A and B are shown apart, each in its own frame.
Chain A
Amino acid sequence: MSAESGPKTWPLWEVFVRGKRGLSHVHVGSLHAPDATMALRNARDVYTRRQEGVSLWVVRASDITASSPDERDSFFDPAGDKVYRHPTFYDVPEDVEYL
């Protein structure tokens, strides 16, 4: 593979698979494809060959805005001592599988 965004390289796509109805789409990996339609098909071939999913999303990796490791302290640490934000003060009914 040559330069990351050279004209001969297909762009990178991030793939999300929904395992079954009721679950959220989960990031499973990435792949190269020339466009969104082909990315979806490649994702089907690479990530759902063993019946891993019922739905697929693909997103261009360059369209994702990610938090930076440098900002980790200010982003995440303040939540550390605020236990009251956790929904642990409820009784969860037994038959509710995915909450």
Chain B
Amino acid sequence: MGDSTNPVAAQYVLGLADDALVYAQRLGEWISRGPQIEEDMALANIGLDLLGQARALLTRVGELDGTGRSEDDLAYFRDEREFRNVHLVEQERAGFGFEMARLLWFSSYQCELYAALRASTDEVLAGVAEKALKEVDYHRDHATQWVLRLGDGTTESHERMQQGLRDVLPYLAELFDDDPASVAAAESGLGVLPSSLHDAAVGHVTKVVAEATLELPTETRWRSRGGREGVHSRPMGYLLAELQHLARSHPGAQW
């Protein structure tokens, strides 16, 4: 391992980086749309934490894959089929209940992910994980606080939170799929198997959902697939257009 290039490891790290980058973009959309300005700030902060993780991870990808691409090259000048994020994070911003359900699941997954990656054989990845764990621990707490209040709040808030949990369900299995890149990364000690994170993440969500007097839906007639191979859902193209158009319209622009 060490400093030599490793394209398969790069694919694995790219998946983690794109999850963070794309969800950061979605969370940024909450600015001016939160229930209060304080919540705009909270979600924007969480998005910025994720953006910081994405930057460090993308930079590492450019080193590992041997192309020497920068974080900006990777964020702004790849097309949809080259993105490796799961479908959960690219779904359009919906109601606040949906967002809290998505954030609770995603941050629970990331808590387990980064906790495990602290032992990565890749020093950069281990370092990013060490720092990011404190951040995502707070993200998970934020989502937890809201799910408790909305679930155990009014009839209306309870129903909307319950609907949010139902709406994210089809996208959850993909988070814990062992795709070829993660299997290889886990074998080398650089990464962890997504399936190994499943039980602990579900454990936290289950506890919160029960305390919030909600029910954790488990039956779904379909599930998302393909994100880690670059096959995305309809909202992804629109998201990338907004994320990338400025950098592409003014290549090399600085501020």
Contacts of B134-168 to chain A: CB distance below 8 A: 141-142, 145, 149
Can you list, as one digit per residue, whether each of B10-49 has a CB less than 8 Å from chain A (1) or not (0)? 0000000000000000000000000011110110010000
Q: Which residue of A lies closest to B35 (CB)?
A: A10
- Given A38-B145, A41-B142, A41-B145, A32:B36 Cβ within 8 A: yes
- Given A10-B36, A37-B145, A42:B45 Cβ within 8 A: no
Once A and B bind, how many residue pairs between them come within 8 Å at the CB atom?
26
Contact (Cβ within 8 A) A42 B42: yes
Q: How large is the interface on A (under 10, 10 to 19, 20 to 34, 35 or more residues)?
A: 10 to 19
Q: Which residue of A lies closest to B45 (CB)?
A: A45
Residues of B within 8 A of A41 (CB): 42, 141-142, 145
Contact (Cβ within 8 A) B38 A49: no
A33 at the B interface (CB under 8 A): yes
A45 to B47 Cα, complex, angstroms: 12
CB distance from B37 to the nearest CB of A (A): 8
A10 to B153 Cα, complex, angstroms: 14
Contact (Cβ within 8 A) A45 B36: no
Contacts of A11-64 to chain B: CB distance below 8 A: 31-35, 37-38, 41-42, 45-46, 49
Can you list, as one digit per residue, whether each of B195-236 has a CB less than 8 Å from chain A (1) or not (0)? 000000000000000000000000000000000000000000
A25 to B142 Cα, complex, angstroms: 24
Residues of B within 8 A of A45 (CB): 38, 41-42, 45
CB distance from A77 to the nearest CB of B (A): 39
Q: Which residue of A lies closest to B36 (CB)?
A: A32
CB distance from A36 to the nearest CB of B (A): 11
Contact (Cβ within 8 A) A42 B41: yes
- Given A10-B36, A32-B36, A46:B41 Cβ within 8 A: yes
A46 to B36 Cα, complex, angstroms: 12
- Given A45-B45, A49-B45, A32:B38 Cβ within 8 A: yes
Contact (Cβ within 8 A) B145 A46: no
A41 to B45 Cα, complex, angstroms: 12
Residues of B within 8 A of A37 (CB): 145
CB distance from A41 to the nearest CB of B (A): 6
CB distance from B158 to the nearest CB of A (A): 15
Contact (Cβ within 8 A) B149 A34: yes
Contact (Cβ within 8 A) A42 B38: yes
CB distance from B146 to the nearest CB of A (A): 8
Residues of A within 8 A of B45 (CB): 45, 49
| Cβ-closest 8 pairs across A and B | A42-B38, A45-B42, A45-B41, A45-B45, A31-B38, A46-B41, A32-B36, A32-B38
Would you mind naming 22 contact pairs between A and B with Cβ atoms under 8 Å apart?
A: A10-B36, A31-B38, A32-B36, A32-B37, A33-B38, A34-B149, A37-B145, A38-B145, A38-B149, A41-B42, A41-B141, A41-B142, A41-B145, A42-B39, A42-B41, A42-B42, A45-B38, A45-B41, A45-B42, A46-B38, A46-B41, A49-B45
